[in-house]
């Protein structure tokens, strides 16, 4: 969708009004804070397929201005690398468009659906996998779009969970979000709602008493908070405090990290991140291999390296702290876990052969095959 400057401005202002925060939205203002590298300067914001630039001052202040390789900077400062040819990459590798059952509802897996509540985010991550939609300034789902999606969920009882995603659902005002929850829960009181948001990392001050009080009115099926923390530096006191507000209200928190080259593709960084998440009552849930999305090649970690990281993490982390390393297969193939094989096969006695995490071999006789 072509970006219309007026819509861009309107939605940016709307965001500012709701959250009353300073947000950096132009290269010129960014240059007041950071000395841009050649690659960052060469980014051309006029290219339509580009995500907008938006960095809340809270997040900007976490970036070390002296370090051009700061892991937080790499996630949010646009670079010309996103505009280089990216062979094999797609606009919509997860085939969300072809799995859309209403304008804003995606039904890819039998038991869960994803609802695109809005395309707006307070901060646009340069690695975003939903670039085809995110930051296109279409705004929050209309009442009609919400109603259509709610009716679909009401008519498909096999759906037990809905992801409120986007964009960032917490850019909606509390009252707008309340209406949305009510639209679905009034038709399906048993529906589990996942609140998918990067707000605790990008702008934790959004998590107010008012928001939590509003959510607590809904005491039927549970909510789950799905966060995205990619680096331990993001786990500030404000960020963990924001998540703890949900957890204290009975809303469990799960984290989805994206494996990103130059940001977190080191075992010590991931180990630290997962342990800190768990300590702060946020379960490390997924570690995602980068999707084949146009403009994100420079973030993708070779699979061989990802597998080696997973193997080492499995040795170092407790079961609770260990996320599932997973890939969303191209052309809508869906999520599959990634791990080096621990199950090798069977021996001559028909017993299963395993490799331990230390590389030793163990056998496990299967009672049925012994008969
Ligand atoms: S917050 Fe989520 S939807 Fe928004 S840009 Fe980042 S990854 Fe994409």
C-alpha of residue 63 to centroid of ligand 1, in Å: 18
* Catalytic residue status for 272: no
Structure tokens at 267: 């075992």
Percent of the chain exceeding pLDDT 70 equals 93
Would you state the pLDDT for residue 341?
A: 78
CA distance 33 to 186: 47
Question: Mean pLDDT over residues 244-264, rounded?
Answer: 98
Q: How many CB atoms lie within 10 A of CB 326?
A: 20
Would you state the pLDDT for residue 10?
A: 53
Number of alpha helices (DSSP H) and beta strands (DSSP E) in the chain: 13, 15
Give the number of residues written for the chain. Answer: 371
* Banded model confidence at residue 14, pLDDT cuts 50, 70, 90: low
CA distance 183 to 185: 6
Domains of the chain and any CATH numbers: 5-82 (no CATH), 100-337 (3.20.20.70), 341-371 (no CATH)
Q: Are 81 and 300 within 8 A, CB to CB?
A: no
Burial 117-126 (b: 16+ CB within 10 A, else e): bbbbbbbbbb
| Ligand 1 contact via 119 beta carbon (within 6 Å) | no
Bridge partners of 105, per DSSP, are 102, 115
Q: Are 193 and 221 within 8 A, CB to CB?
A: yes
Would you state the pLDDT for residue 1?
A: 40
Q: Is the pLDDT of residue 48 over 80?
A: no
| Ligand 1 contact via 201 beta carbon (within 6 Å) | no
How far from 232 is each of 228, 229, 240, CA to CA, in Å? 11, 8, 11
| Ligand 1 contact via 93 beta carbon (within 6 Å) | no
CA angle at residue 320 from 129 to 215, to 5 degrees?
A: 65
From the centroid of its chain, how far is CA 258? 7
- Our mutation pick for probing the ligand 1 site, out of 134, 171, 296, counting the most ligand atoms within 8 A of Cβ, is 134
| Ligand 1 contact via 256 beta carbon (within 6 Å) | no
pLDDT one-digit tens code per residue, 202-243: 999 999 999 999 999 998 889 999 999 999 999 999 999 999
Would you state the pLDDT for residue 3?
A: 44
CB-side neighbour CA atoms (13 Å) of 251:
26
Helical (H) or strand (E) element with 255: strand 253-258
Question: Mean pLDDT over residues 48-67, rounded?
Answer: 92
**Which is the closest atom of ligand 1 to the Cα of 166?**
3
* Catalytic residue status for 121: yes
pLDDT one-digit tens code per residue, 306-361: 999 999 999 999 999 999 999 999 999 999 999 987 999 999 999 999 999 888 99
pLDDT one-digit tens code per residue, 104-135: 999 999 999 999 999 999 999 999 999 999 99
| CA neighbor of 228 nearest in space, from 205, 253, 192 | 253
Would you state the pLDDT for residue 366?
A: 85
| pLDDT higher at 231 or 50 | 231
* Banded model confidence at residue 87, pLDDT cuts 50, 70, 90: confident
| Ligand 1 contact via 130 beta carbon (within 6 Å) | yes
């Amino acid at each position: 969708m072509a970006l219309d400057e007026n819509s861009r401005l309107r939605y940016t202002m709307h965001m500012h009004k709701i959250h009353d925060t300073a947000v950096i939205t132009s290269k010129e203002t960014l240059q007041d804070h950071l000395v841009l590298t050649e690659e960052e300067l060469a980014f051309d914001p006029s290219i339509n397929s580009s995500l907008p630039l938006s960095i809340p001052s809270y997040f900007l202040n976490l970036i070390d201005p002296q370090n051009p390789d700061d892991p937080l900077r790499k996630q949010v400062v646009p670079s010309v690398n996103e505009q280089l040819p990216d062979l094999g990459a797609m606009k919509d590798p997860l085939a969300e468009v072809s799995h859309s059952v209403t304008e804003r509802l995606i039904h890819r897996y039998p038991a869960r659906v994803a609802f695109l509540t809005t395309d707006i985010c307070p901060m646009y991550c340069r690695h975003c996998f939903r670039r085809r939609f995110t930051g296109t300034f279409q705004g929050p789902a209309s009442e009609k779009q919400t109603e259509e999606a709610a009716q679909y969920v009401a008519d498909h009882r096999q759906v037990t969970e809905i992801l409120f995603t986007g964009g960032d659902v917490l850019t909606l005002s509390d009252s707008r979000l309340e209406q949305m929850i009510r639209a679905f829960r009034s038709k399906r009181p048993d529906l589990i709602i996942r609140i998918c948001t990067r707000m605790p990392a990008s702008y934790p001050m959004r998590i107010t008493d008012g928001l939590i009080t509003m959510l607590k009115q809904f005491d039927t099926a549970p909510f789950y908070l799905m966060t995205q923390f990619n680096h331990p530096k993001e786990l500030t006191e404000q960020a963990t405090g924001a998540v703890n507000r949900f957890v204290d209200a009975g809303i469990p928190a799960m984290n989805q990290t994206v494996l990103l080259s130059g940001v977190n593709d080191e075992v010590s960084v991931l180990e630290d991140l997962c342990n800190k998440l768990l300590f702060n009552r946020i379960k490390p849930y997924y570690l995602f291999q980068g999707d084949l999305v146009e403009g994100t090649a420079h973030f993708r970690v070779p699979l061989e390296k990802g597998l080696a990281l997973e193997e080492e993490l499995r040795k170092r982390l407790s079961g609770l702290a260990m996320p599932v390393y997973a890939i969303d297969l191209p052309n809508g193939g869906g999520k599959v876990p990634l791990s080096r094989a621990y199950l090798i096969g069977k021996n001559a006695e028909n017993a299963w052969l395993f490799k331990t995490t230390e590389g030793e071999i163990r056998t496990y006789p299967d009672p049925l095959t012994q008969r």
